[in-house]
Structure 1
Amino acid sequence: MSDLLDTPWFYWALGVSLGLPVALIVLTEIRNALIRRGSGLAGAVGLVRNFIVPLGALLLLLVKANEVSAEATPVRVIATAFGFMVLILLLSGFNATLFQGAPEGSWRKRIPSIFLDVTRFVVIAIGLALILSYVWGADVGGLFTALGVTSIVLGLALQNAVGQIVSGLLLLFEQPFQLGDWLDTPSARGRVVEVNWRATHIDTGGGGLQIMPNSVLAAASFTNLSRPADAYSISVTSVFGLQDAPDEVCAMLARVAGTLPQVRPDATAKAVAVGGQEYKTTIPLRSPADAGAARATFLRWIWYASRRAELHLDEAEDDFAGPERVADAMRVVATSLRLNPSELAEIAPHIRVTRYGTDETVQVQGEVPARMTFVVGGRIRVVSRREDGSVVVVGTLESGDFLGQTTLTREPVLAGAHALDETTVLQIERDQLEALVMRKPALLHEIGRAIEERRETTRRVLAAVDSAQ
């Protein structure tokens, strides 16, 4: 027994036989805990448990316990596998520690994948060189010299391709743009969706992908529309008649631009006269991706808004409210308000027939209306915006229905409204309504009943949404 205790291999064998199971159990528990936490290090710990620890134990048994020479081929093969697994562990641990789960906006999240590929290549090259040198005794210096000469020859033969790769590396190192940024280049305008060793891929938004070589992009002058953040705007130029007051035109343009759904929150649209009957409207947007939709919607809405404001967009006259159309609209009002012919003739000179475009705002929630609006043709959607920003549909108005019931009571409306399609409306100003109800008290009672019905409908819809949640 004393002879056994005096032999060096006994303690190595005993240590491996006891330490290996304990290490495997501990590593298993650590890995399970990391998996429950969703940590990216679980894979690295699993690699240590499944490969590195068993291979290390096998090396100790061969070299220390069995006293097999380190120059033996089986030992070198196992040592090579052990070193290769350590190399993989370094790569996976480096990736999990620095880049997996990196916060949005941090340098770790923004770093291009091409730099990670270069770093992995360098680490693998150094690791393999160390394995060949220490395990197999290879002349690494001579190998690297041969590789260097080969690289020079390949570089001269592929200088154009290598030039593009170097240009891409320099471009990405400088980081003038990131994935998702919008670029305006001499040959393309769109969003960056991919950057690789050779080229940058730009989604032009028209169903096509512009492939631009990095060498071309590095040598060209381009505009990053996404930087600085929250600073992208578009400018739209429009022409009005000489008889239109510039302040009225600017106010109308700014008001319409401010209601666009693409406008950046907490930003203000501005309109200025630039001379020669031209006006420039600056519209701040959330993203360059909204530019096309915002421009199209703005041009469509100011066509309707300019006619409601009796302004002359493109110096055009509006002859929409002809006698026949006004007569049809008056019949709708007479039915809704139960007016006799004499009462109808009395307010006829003071009514106004106009139009709203699709999705255009007809009534703003929380504002006090200055007029009653009757739907003559088309549809209007009534919605209520809640405190959490969600929108609840209260109902849909069609021909004969009306908005602005609180015009006489001067109370804020509980819901907003927008046109579902091109909608023709008839509007009566507050002073004309006041004069009308003074002569017809029953009308005031009818309007009051409509106010209560609309309030009850809004409360009922909101209560149903709350109960459903």
Structure 2
Amino acid sequence: MTTEAAQISATLLLFAAMIVPWITRRWPLWARAAWRVAVFIALTYTVLQMAGSPLAPQFDAAQPGDRVWQQLIEIGWWLAAAQCAIGIVRLLVVFETKPRETRIVSDLMAGVIHLLTLFAVINFVFAVPVGGLLATSGVIAIVLGLALQSSLSDVFSGVAVGTERPYSPGDLVWVEGGIEGRVVQVNWRSTHIATLNGDVAIVPNSVMAKARLVNHSLPTKVRRVSITVKVAANERPDRCMAVLNAAVKTCVLLSATPPPSVARSELQGDGVAYDISFTIPSIEVFVEARTELLGHIQSHLRHAGIALAVPGVPIQGRLQVPTAVTLLEESDWFGVLADADRSLLADQLVEVWFAAGDQLMKRGDDPKVLFIVASGTVEITDGLPGSTEVIFRLGPGGSLGAIGMITGTPYAATATALTPVTAYRLDRKGVGDAIAARPDLVKSLEVLARRGQELNRRDVVARQADYAEPPEMFLSKLRSFLRKISESPRDEDQRRHRS
């Protein structure tokens, strides 16, 4: 093969090496590597025919144009060698199920190969000694390294983070220093975290690589959380455990599996600590779940008369347990009444007890009574056959059945005691006796009609069809109910006189 033919063949091969990869982008990795090797072998043969060994090329000095052409072909040969080496490296460096790590390692090795190719072109093609260049480059590299120390640290830390992958975009993480939120972006220099306050924290990868890190999304989003409550040292342990367990069972945001647990963890002269462990489906609901749990704990302890511990105070007086009058005063239903009217109704309340599993009311039953929970936990379910859907859970101070008793609508849900429950019962006869003793109570009770629409939404055992009733219809039903029960005692007295 003549020198001119070799130059033309090498030029065509270089054009093919540049164009074909754009056409073969969808080829498998091994096919693209095989193509590069084939082109490199053919190009090596033509370069040997044109200028001898690529490591010691003999360019045509007589024709300047041919010399430049041959040098360009020699540069193309080195670039083809680099692409061939990169293709083989990417074929060999493949981590199964870890495409991100594969890409990072192959990109780093490709950068090293391109850098070596640059020095080879300078040394072999242009015959420029690279010893002095390497020395100068070393000095420049040291200066740049010192100037860009923090940035380079972030870049290499980004490589380490990308290889290890302790977190990914979308994960909820906690970083030492008080940063907590969801990862939205990970790049070579920094990690972007959307915090719970709605801000975006940009944390350098060098900090992420050195800081303690908790990934709340691994291995699953389910989290086990624990809080500590310390009560007075003079309270009975079994009673404290029962009240805290009832408070935990009142919560609806906690996961049922694994079940929450209560355990005594510390005993001191000024109080006893109880650890309450529970599971939540995601760390995103932690704040809401903790708020709900602490609220129920406070309510249950207060209604049980159990005081929280005060540091340095070994013995504390018992809290006053809310009376029936207090429960009515704090009730959504009867809180709007005057003190005298509430006291009159409180005299008609009957204290009742239920064991765990007992039903306070059942779906479809005739509504004759309402209950105000004094202690324990009541679970409200839809009561349908084969269904276990939980609508709500009531703790101390909660009431149920008022709407049904007043409107005569059958109960649309079932109420079951989850724990031993103490409650106050008020039936129609009790309301009638109170009205007989104080007829003006009818006018006071009519005030409740103004709250009818809102109370309809809150009463979990009223039929959903009644939720949309206009206030006028609710007022009519209330007045009809009050008229009937106020007339009942008079009818009873008349029957007694006749007899």
State the TM-score, normalizing by the size of structure 2: 0.48
1:271 matched residue in structure 2: 262
1:122 matched residue in structure 2: 112
Output aligned runs, 1:327-342, within 5 Å: 337-338=365-366
Count matched residues.
338
Tell me whether 1:247 sits opposite 2:241 in the alignment.
yes
Output aligned runs, 1:58-457, within 5 Å: 60=45, 64=49, 71=59, 72-88=67-83, 90-91=85-86, 94-95=89-90, 98=93, 102-103=96-97, 108=98, 111=101, 118-162=108-152, 168=157, 172=161, 177-179=166-168, 180=171, 182-196=173-187, 198-216=189-207, 222-226=212-216, 229=219, 232-238=223-229, 245-256=239-250, 260=253, 263=255, 267-273=258-264, 276=271, 279-285=274-280, 288-299=283-294, 306=300, 317=322, 319=327, 320=330, 324=334, 337-338=365-366, 344=368, 348=369, 352-353=371-372, 362=381, 400-404=410-414, 423-425=458-460
TM-superposition CA deviations, 1:299-326 (whole Å, max 9, x none): 466678x499978798784725588599
Q: Distance in 2 between matches of 1:57 and 1:99?
A: 27
Describe the shift of the 1:301–1:400 C-alpha distance in structure 2 as closer, same or farther (beyond 3 A).
farther
- Aligned 8 A contact 2:74 2:125 in 1: yes
The RMSD of aligned alpha carbons is 5.8
Q: Distance in 1 between matches of 2:380 and 2:128?
A: 78
- Aligned 8 A contact 1:70 1:76 in 2: no
Q: Distance in 2 between matches of 1:79 and 1:64?
A: 12
Output aligned runs, 1:10-49, within 5 Å: 41=29, 45=31
Q: Distance in 2 between matches of 1:95 and 1:377?
A: 73
User: What is the CA-CA distance between 1:248 and the residue it aligns to?
Assistant: 1.4
Q: Secondary structure at the match of 2:459?
A: strand
Q: Distance in 1 between matches of 2:159 and 2:362?
A: 74
Q: Distance in 2 between matches of 1:55 and 1:377?
A: 88
1:436 matched residue in structure 2: none
Q: Secondary structure at the match of 1:207?
A: coil
User: What is the CA-CA distance between 1:280 and the residue it aligns to?
Assistant: 3.0
- Aligned 8 A contact 1:226 1:232 in 2: yes
Q: Secondary structure at the match of 2:202?
A: strand
Describe the shift of the 1:63–1:367 C-alpha distance in structure 2 as closer, same or farther (beyond 3 A).
closer
Q: Distance in 2 between matches of 1:62 and 1:297?
A: 79
- Aligned 8 A contact 1:271 1:281 in 2: yes
Q: Secondary structure at the match of 2:258?
A: coil
Describe the shift of the 1:267–1:60 C-alpha distance in structure 2 as closer, same or farther (beyond 3 A).
same
TM-superposition CA deviations, 1:366-412 (whole Å, max 9, x none): 6699xxx976669xxxxxxxxxxxxxxxxxxxx754234999xxxxx
- Aligned 8 A contact 1:183 1:189 in 2: yes
User: What is the CA-CA distance between 1:245 and the residue it aligns to?
Assistant: 1.5
Q: Secondary structure at the match of 2:192?
A: strand
- Aligned 8 A contact 1:374 1:403 in 2: no
Q: Distance in 1 between matches of 2:372 and 2:37?
A: 83
Q: Which runs of 5+ in 2 are unaligned?
A: 60-66, 309-318, 336-341, 350-360, 391-398, 418-455, 463-499
Describe the shift of the 1:81–1:182 C-alpha distance in structure 2 as closer, same or farther (beyond 3 A).
same
Q: Distance in 1 between matches of 2:136 and 2:80?
A: 27
| Amino acid corresponding to residue 253 of structure 2 in structure 1 | L
Q: Distance in 1 between matches of 2:413 and 2:217?
A: 43
- Aligned 8 A contact 1:239 1:279 in 2: yes
User: What is the CA-CA distance between 1:89 and the residue it aligns to?
Assistant: 5.2
| Amino acid corresponding to residue 83 of structure 1 in structure 2 | W
Describe the shift of the 1:145–1:290 C-alpha distance in structure 2 as closer, same or farther (beyond 3 A).
farther
User: What is the CA-CA distance between 1:84 and the residue it aligns to?
Assistant: 2.3
Of the two, which has the highest radius of gyration?
2
Identity %: 19
Describe the shift of the 1:324–1:160 C-alpha distance in structure 2 as closer, same or farther (beyond 3 A).
closer
- Aligned 8 A contact 1:253 1:302 in 2: yes
| Amino acid corresponding to residue 271 of structure 1 in structure 2 | V
TM-superposition CA deviations, 1:210-262 (whole Å, max 9, x none): 22345555665x342549845953223457795891231342345456x536x
User: What is the CA-CA distance between 1:148 and the residue it aligns to?
Assistant: 0.8
- Aligned 8 A contact 1:114 1:197 in 2: no
| Residues 145-154 or 127-136, more deviating | 127-136
- Aligned 8 A contact 1:375 1:423 in 2: no
Q: Distance in 2 between matches of 1:334 and 1:367?
A: 14
User: What is the CA-CA distance between 1:93 and the residue it aligns to?
Assistant: 6.2
